[in-house]
Amino acid sequence: MQVKPPVITVDGPSGTGKGTLCSQVSRWLQWNLLDSGALYRILALLAQRENIDVSNAVEVAGLARTELDVQFIAVAGEPSIKVTLDGADIDAQIRKEDCGNAASQLGGYVEVREAILGWQRSFQRPPGLVADGRDMGTVVFPAAELKIFLTASPEERAKRRYKQLNVKGIDVSFQNLLTEMAERDNRDKQRNISPLRPAEDAIVIDTSASGIENVFAQVSALIKQRFELPV
């Protein structure tokens, strides 16, 4: 039997530092990275480009194909990764709040989640995968070797997201962001299919009061232990 490459899953709501942590861990281990939220965001963008209403789950699901060339590229000196689609840099477009809200809506459709499942699993390639999302540990990679679930207070998460968007030159109001994030979290947690929740065997880390260096230190210690890496 072929042994599958190992997987580390990092789930949690936005603004908990998942993206930065996953990018640091994948660089450190030299493993592949999957930002699953970006796939939902890309579907929202493609639907917009092709004039498909995001509530048309069947048509949007038809846009999810493994042959879409999505790359997660680490940029030297930057904490986050850049996403390209068929070689074009679409990162700024998919990070906009309208894309995030449409992605959250798409996440509630069973047709879309099913269509995206094989696409997400296709990122499990040697030497290993770091998977960032909402249901990586519960649904997409239930046999993952290490599962992390990050949490943080809503205010702290909105502050981080605000800073992140500002750095990317995306202008938003803090109050709107806080309200929209709360709505999105509720939708992600309440949906019937693959709701946002920690897997039973996930290690939950509250990042409200910790800097990313601290979170990385905790997680890298867990990884060394789990994968028996030299210290």
* By the rule CB under 6 A, 6 interacts with ligand DC: no
* By the rule CB under 6 A, 103 interacts with ligand DC: yes
Q: Which stretch binds ligand DC (CB under 6 A): 81-89, 98-106, 201-209, 210-218?
A: 98-106
Using CB under 6 A, count the residues that bind ligand DC.
Answer: 14
Q: Which is nearer to ligand DC, 6 or 12 (CB)?
A: 12
Closest CA to 99 of 119, 85, 117, 118: 85
Binding to ligand DC (CB under 6 A) within 17-36 occurs at 36
Q: Which is nearer to ligand DC, 41 or 219 (CB)?
A: 41
Tell me if residue 21 falls in helix, strand or coil: helix
Binding to ligand DC (CB under 6 A) within 128-147 occurs at 133-135
- d(C-alpha 63, C-alpha 58), whole Å: 9
Q: Which is nearer to ligand DC, 17 or 107 (CB)?
A: 107
x/- track of binding to ligand DC for residues 50-89 (CB under 6 A): ----------------------------------------
CA angle 113, 196, 137 (to 5 degrees): 75
Among 26, 31, 184, 207, binds ligand DC (CB under 6 A): 184
* By the rule CB under 6 A, 109 interacts with ligand DC: no
- d(C-alpha 45, C-alpha 87), whole Å: 15
Q: Which two tokens stand for residue 69?
A: 């060339």
- Cα–Cα distance list, 72 to 2, 27, 93, 158, 203 (Å): 26, 11, 15, 24, 25
Tell me if residue 46 falls in helix, strand or coil: helix
Q: Which is nearer to ligand DC, 29 or 138 (CB)?
A: 138
* By the rule CB under 6 A, 207 interacts with ligand DC: no
- d(C-alpha 135, C-alpha 121), whole Å: 12
- d(C-alpha 159, C-alpha 83), whole Å: 23
* By the rule CB under 6 A, 9 interacts with ligand DC: no
- d(C-alpha 100, C-alpha 45), whole Å: 10
Q: C-beta of 27: minimal distance to ligand DC in Å?
A: 19
Q: C-beta of 135: minimal distance to ligand DC in Å?
A: 5
Q: What are phi and psi of 76, to 5 degrees?
A: -55, 130
Q: Which two tokens stand for residue 146?
A: 């290490």
Q: C-beta of 225: minimal distance to ligand DC in Å?
A: 26
List residues binding ligand DC (CB under 6 A): 14, 36-37, 40-41, 100, 103-104, 107, 133-135, 184, 188
